[in-house]
Amino acid sequence: MTAPPGPQTALTRLVGVRHPLVQTGMGWVAGPRLVSAVANAGALGILASATMTPEGLRAAVREVGSRTKAPFGVNLRADAGDARERVRIMIDEGVRVASFALAPTKDLMAELKDAGVLVIPSVGARRHAEKVAAWGADAVVVQGGEGGGHTGDVATTVLLPQVVDAVDIPVVAAGGFCDGRGLVAALAYGAAGVAMGTRFLLTAESTVPDAVKARYLAATVKDITVTTRVDGLPHRMLRTDLVTALERSGPLRSLLRAARHASAFRHASGTSWPALLADGLSLRHEKRLTWSQLLLAANTPMMLKSALVDGDPDRGLMASGQVAARIADLPTCAELIARTVREARRTHESLHRGPFGT
């Protein structure tokens, strides 16, 4: 299905995509199949690399390249000990966009920009957007508190206009978006597009197991919560028996579980113990975590994998934006993007016929 012509914005002109829509780099979810489907449908797909080895990243980038000639990006952990190696892989393989969950360092950003790679960090606060803009970021993704995974406490409707007014680079809105009405609303606030995670997780090309997708589709607003008991940081996810158990467990049990998961993640990601420790120290400095919180952070990757890859929602975690409560189907990426663009056009036209129309 081909989408009708959509709005052309600073984002579409910057990246070279047809539609101002971004699929976020969700760990264990945003692999070559999903990213290439999004790219072929005219939006910007972002490959998640944090859960891959460097060799796995190179293979994944090449697989996406074999599936599409459209631009796509790679999401990196700026605090990873092997971040520079991953940057070199991206440059070598001709990746168009570098996406960061944490602000990149100045030298990493300079290396990417010197190689012609667009740098688009994700932030959750106005001051962070101002910082990366001053460092030379090409655009910024701003996620409000409604967004899934690690999140803040400021709603998109407050945070987005703050950032738009504070920086002079394209701003992409994230947190609470799943359709064309949301796209028009974001554009009205001054954004150059919207980024969606949960909505793209719930598509036909997403490799998340069907049983887990069913749990998302059945969720109501009350089934989506924020907890700090997984890794010491605010984390939005579906409430399950496991989440309740984590919130009730004592500190010793939580730390023992975290240590087991740290070992499992080391094997899955190909990370050595020294590199894992270095990453942890960087995270501790960046997020000002206590040592207990740092060890708890080892929970996240493998507990997410249990649900999103292994298909066991009762033993894993399901990161989710609040918008999951509005999603009721599993379209292909092409269908979703075409529908979003059509709805945005209809919404825009209805506004011109409304009280402000002529």
**Residue 222: pLDDT band with limits 50, 70, 90:** very high
Residues 231-243 pLDDT 10s: 778 999 999 888 8
pLDDT confidence of residue 196: 98
**Rounded (10°) CA dihedral 286, 287, 289, 295:** -80
The residue assigned the tokens 């990243």 is: 57
8-state DSSP, 222 = G
**Residue 278: pLDDT band with limits 50, 70, 90:** low
Distance CA 65, CA 44 (A): 13
pLDDT confidence of residue 271: 55
Residues 116-147 pLDDT 10s: 999 999 999 999 999 999 999 999 999 999 99
Percent of the chain with pLDDT over 70: 85
**Residue 350: pLDDT band with limits 50, 70, 90:** very high
- CB within 8 Å of 234: residues ≥ 6 apart: 150, 151, 152, 153, 226, 227, 228
Class of domain 10-207+327-353: alpha beta
Mean of the per-residue pLDDT values for the chain?
Answer: 89
Q: Which amino acid is at 328?
A: A
Residue 219 has pLDDT above 70, yes or no: yes
Of 45, 30, 319, 15, the closest CA to residue 195 belongs to: 45
**Residue 339: pLDDT band with limits 50, 70, 90:** very high
Could you tell me whether strands 235-238 and 149-150 are parallel, antiparallel, or unpaired per DSSP bridges? antiparallel
pLDDT confidence of residue 195: 98
8-state DSSP, 2 = P
Distance CA 317, CA 230 (A): 9
pLDDT confidence of residue 315: 80
Structure tokens at 231: 């890794």
Range from 55-59, 279-283, 303-307 carrying the lowest mean pLDDT: 279-283
pLDDT confidence of residue 41: 98
The residue among 299 and 241 whose pLDDT is bigger is 241
**Residue 302: pLDDT band with limits 50, 70, 90:** confident
Distance CA 172, CA 12 (A): 11
CA angle 41, 43, 46 (to 5 degrees): 115
Structure tokens at 12: 């579409």
Distance CA 73, CA 339 (A): 23
Distances (CA, A) of 301 to 185, 254, 272, 308: 33, 15, 16, 10
pLDDT confidence of residue 352: 84
Helices and strands (DSSP H and E) totals, the chain: 16, 11
Percentages of the chain per state (helix, strand, coil), in multiples of 5: 50, 15, 35
Distance CA 19, CA 43 (A): 5
pLDDT confidence of residue 96: 98
Q: What is the CA radius of gyration of the chain?
A: 19
Residues 54-102 pLDDT 10s: 999 999 999 999 999 999 999 998 878 899 999 999 999 999 999 998 7
- CB within 8 Å of 336: residues ≥ 6 apart: 41, 199, 200, 203
Per-domain residue ranges for the chain? 10-207+327-353, 210-308
